[in-house]
Amino acid sequence: MNPNSKIYIAGHRGLVGSAIWNNLLSRGYTNLVGRTHQELDLTDQYAVKKFFDEEEPDAVVLAAAFVGGIMANSLYRADFIMMNMKIQCNVISEAYAHHVKKLLFLGSTCIYPKDAPQPMKENCLLTSPLEYTNEEYAIAKIAGLKMCESYNLQYGTNYIAVMPTNLYGPNDNFHLENSHVMPAMMRKVYLAKLIADDNWKAIRKDMDKRPVLGVDGKAEKQTLLDILSKYGIENNRVTLWGTGKPLREFLWSEDMADASVHVLLNVNFSDIIGIEKYSSVHYGASTDGAVDRNHSKGRGGAIPSLGEIRNCHINVGTGKELTIRELAELVVKTVGFKGELLFDDTKPDGTPRKLIDVSKIHSLGWTHKVEIEDGVRKLFEWYQQSLQ
């Protein structure tokens, strides 16, 4: 691709999509296309087709998804599988129909089995049962990466799937019910500190910016205290879900964006499966890293000379981990909270450990830059600025 290539970023206002947009701009790629959910409902097949008819992008980054943490995954199981499947099917099928040259699909490391060997390599996919609390989301994302893999094998496309670890960063979702662990934890600790400081001006500003169950900063003080207590936020005390023992890996969203753009611009499907070992006669390889469609048509996905091709996705992370309790203590220190930190062990922990093997992405020329201590500080600074 060249700087004039038209690149559609689905989910360009989200945590990763916005960072990818900015990363591309910084590299001189200015012909970017984005649509808000209000402008384009990606679950609407006909609307997606109309969009591709009109815009005809050269490349697509599929960063849009219906996401959330343990609580949201438990409450909205049907939504998580159906909405994500619709988004993926619509965008990927229209990308193919409109001859998109390159597609980057963003998944999640929740695709891996609950008891997968650690660190998790790409080839442990589908080797044992998934974690129950996020099974529907994981199944949808597995389907998405298999769509990319299967289109490549049958039609000779150049669709790459990347699986990021837990992400955090600018434009993160701080909703107390459907956000991921770090922003939810940070907001809880911050609000508990504000209650202890009797800083109701700041509390009301926070609640006006991000209402909770329809309650904003204009509510009575006791109403605010009651609603926040439902989420474990009290005067100088925070209660978090689980035991605090699970281990988690976290990646700064701007690092993920950098990895995504690196893959989009420099990595092809042929690189991932080692196609250079074979002549173009075996696979019909083209100069842009995809596979000649005419050669591939009707092949049914079989490439006998290569054997079975699986697990073509790429893990993206730091290769480092810490416990939820250690993360909470880091957030407490960053926020300046002096109160009590509790864990409710009657609530689910989720997967015990989720460390990924990042040797593949390293071999493709990319490594992370932001470490967790700096990342937590940067996230809290962004969160405070968002309240201004």
- CA 77 from centroid of its chain's CA atoms: 18
User: Residue 275: inside a domain, yes or no?
Assistant: yes
Report the relative pairing of strands 159-164 and 102-106 from DSSP bridges: parallel
Q: Angle 253-266/15-26 helices, nearest 10 degrees?
A: 60
pLDDT, position 282? 36
pLDDT 10s digits, 145-161: 999 999 999 999 999 99
pLDDT, position 236? 95
Contacts for 214-221: CB closer than 8 Å, 24+ residues apart: none
Could you count the other beta carbons within 10 Å of the beta carbon of residue 371? Answer: 12
Same domain, 305 and 326: no
Same domain, 104 and 163: yes
Range of the domain at 311: 7-169+250-316
Structure tokens at 136: 């529907």
Q: What would the mean pLDDT of 181-194 be, rounded to a whole number? A: 96
Same domain, 13 and 112: yes
User: Residue 364: inside a domain, yes or no?
Assistant: no
Beta-bridge mates of residue 103: 60, 159
pLDDT, position 277? 37
Task: Tell me if the pTM is above 0.85.
Answer: yes
User: Residue 224: inside a domain, yes or no?
Assistant: yes
Same domain, 16 and 65: yes
Same domain, 226 and 196: yes
Same domain, 115 and 31: yes
Same domain, 188 and 199: yes
The residue type at 214: G
pLDDT 10s digits, 294-343: 444 433 444 666 678 899 999 999 999 999 999 999 999 999 999 999 99
User: Kind and range of the H or E element at 288?
Assistant: none
Report d(CA 224, CA 170) in Å as an integer: 26
pLDDT, position 287? 42
Same domain, 74 and 221: no
Report d(CA 295, CA 333) in Å as an integer: 59
- CA 333 from centroid of its chain's CA atoms: 26
Quick check: 274 pLDDT over 90?
no
User: Residue 361: inside a domain, yes or no?
Assistant: no
Same domain, 18 and 86: yes
- How many domains, in total, are found in the chain? 2
Same domain, 256 and 342: no
User: Residue 365: inside a domain, yes or no?
Assistant: no
pLDDT, position 353? 86
Same domain, 193 and 146: no
CATH classification of the domain holding 81: 3.40.50.720
Q: How far is CA 8 from CA 68, 104, 189, 231, 320, in A?
A: 24, 10, 37, 37, 32
Q: Which residues have a catalytic role annotated?
A: 137
User: Kind and range of the H or E element at 183?
Assistant: helix 181-196
pLDDT 10s digits, 85-139: 999 999 999 999 999 999 999 999 989 998 999 999 999 999 999 988 889 999 9
User: Residue 175: inside a domain, yes or no?
Assistant: no
CA-closest candidate to residue 378, choices 176, 168, 185: 168
User: Residue 255: inside a domain, yes or no?
Assistant: yes
Same domain, 311 and 259: yes
